[in-house]
Amino acid sequence: MDYQVSPSPAPVPPLAKSAAVVATTLIWGSTFLAISMGNDTVPPAWAATLRLAIAAVALFAILALRRQPLPRGEAMVSAVLYGFFQFGLNLPLLYWAETQVPSGLCAIIFATLPLNNAVLTHLFGLERLTLAKIAGAVLALAGVAVIFSAQVTLAVEPRRLFAVLVATWAAGLGSVFLKRGPRQSPIGANAVGATVGLVVCAFTSLLLAESQALPRGGAAWFPILYLAVAASLGAFVLWAWLLNHSNITRLSYISVVVPLVALVLGVLVRGERPAPASFLGAVIVLAGVALGVRVPARLAKDPTKTPADLAPPSVAE
């Protein structure tokens, strides 16, 4: 199926675009907090399974209403690989890590995702790796190292911090495999991806001998429903709309602001108290991300062009 981009998107009020940017940033910034809250009552891999099941049903319903076909052939292969890495590996690792690692610090480490994508797309021969991206990646990794050393002093297991880092790599691989495949409907790709992911998450939950009981009460269901609906569908729709109506520079720096939102929410809502040196590491990471996601002026002026280091919308975050 061919998808055409309108050469001149209809103008929209600046306030509407600003509101969409703020809403998207707040939603994505709150997802790490929601995962941490959900871990209080539901086992990690099982919570990810339930979230993906709800998202998959909703996405397939949207496909049916829009009468869009499922991906086929090479597109289906890329969607399956996307789902395996982006959801099947990424989410269980992230959920498990957040049973101990503060949600704000998980978000800081996840902020390196655009830089991971830049390196991976270069290794797969999809894009050129610029000096700014290399410098940003090195600086961000230095910040992650500071966070690791600081959190170990608080008796946080290093393997859980490493799990967050591996989760970002898995999410990056998922994006690369989707990018390598034929262009396809993001709704169809995410419907297939969520289905593959929920199967992997369910199998992981069984291997870990988690309880597969359904949550009881609104407090237990809220984080799962919020992540499935607000994050997976609400932010997804807003992001797709913003790509058509906003300039690239503004959108690229969402990846810098999101972890700051997560860090503040973790402190205010959960009372998280990362080691003081972790905040220094956070500043270093965000400086590296800001350096790496800088967008050339020719792209920043054209809201219809999307640089590859802007991760495609997914139901992961």
Residue 2: pLDDT band (50, 70, 90) is: very low
Q: What is the pLDDT of residue 64?
A: 92
Mean pLDDT comparison of 75-84, 130-139, 238-247, highest-scoring range: 75-84
The least confident of 5-14, 228-237, 277-286 is 5-14
Q: What separation in angstroms does the CA of 264 have from each of 25, 153, 259, 271?
A: 13, 21, 9, 10
Closest residue by Cα to residue 56 from 261, 233, 220, 274: 233
Tokens of 200: 């992997």
The least confident of 2-11, 78-87, 184-193 is 2-11
Residue 243 has pLDDT above 80, yes or no: no
Q: Are 276 and 282 in contact (CB under 8 A)?
A: no
Q: Name the residue with higher pLDDT: 44 or 4.
A: 44
Q: What is the pLDDT of residue 200?
A: 97
Residue 294: pLDDT band (50, 70, 90) is: low
178 CA to centre of own chain? 14
Q: What is the pLDDT of residue 242?
A: 74
Q: What separation in angstroms does the CA of 213 have from each of 41, 161, 210?
A: 11, 28, 9
Residue 1: pLDDT band (50, 70, 90) is: very low
Q: What is the pLDDT of residue 3?
A: 43
Segment 21-27 shows an average pLDDT of 87
Q: What is the pLDDT of residue 105?
A: 87
Cα 29 from Cα 125, distance rounded (Å): 31
Phi, psi of 308 (to 5 degrees): -70, -20
Mean pLDDT comparison of 56-65, 230-239, 243-252, highest-scoring range: 56-65
Q: Name the residue with higher pLDDT: 88 or 132.
A: 88
31-81: per-residue pLDDT in tens? 999 999 999 999 999 999 999 999 999 999 999 999 888 889 998 999 999
Residue 3 has what DSSP assignment? -
Segment 20-30 shows an average pLDDT of 88
Q: What is the pLDDT of residue 279?
A: 84
Cβ neighbors of 191 (< 8 A, separation 6 or more) are: 56, 59, 60, 62, 63, 70
Q: Are 107 and 255 in contact (CB under 8 A)?
A: no
Cα-Cα-Cα-Cα dihedral sign, residues 114, 119, 120, 125: positive
Q: What is the pLDDT of residue 50?
A: 96
Residue 309 has pLDDT above 50, yes or no: no
Q: Name the residue with higher pLDDT: 153 or 174.
A: 174
**How confident is the prediction for the chain on average, in pLDDT?**
82
Cα 260 from Cα 289, distance rounded (Å): 12
Residue 297 has pLDDT above 60, yes or no: no
Q: What is the pLDDT of residue 117?
A: 75
167-200: per-residue pLDDT in tens? 999 988 888 888 888 888 888 888 999 999 999 9
Cα 132 from Cα 125, distance rounded (Å): 18
pTM recorded for the entire structure: 0.82
Q: Name the residue with higher pLDDT: 13 or 300.
A: 13
Segment 162-168 shows an average pLDDT of 92
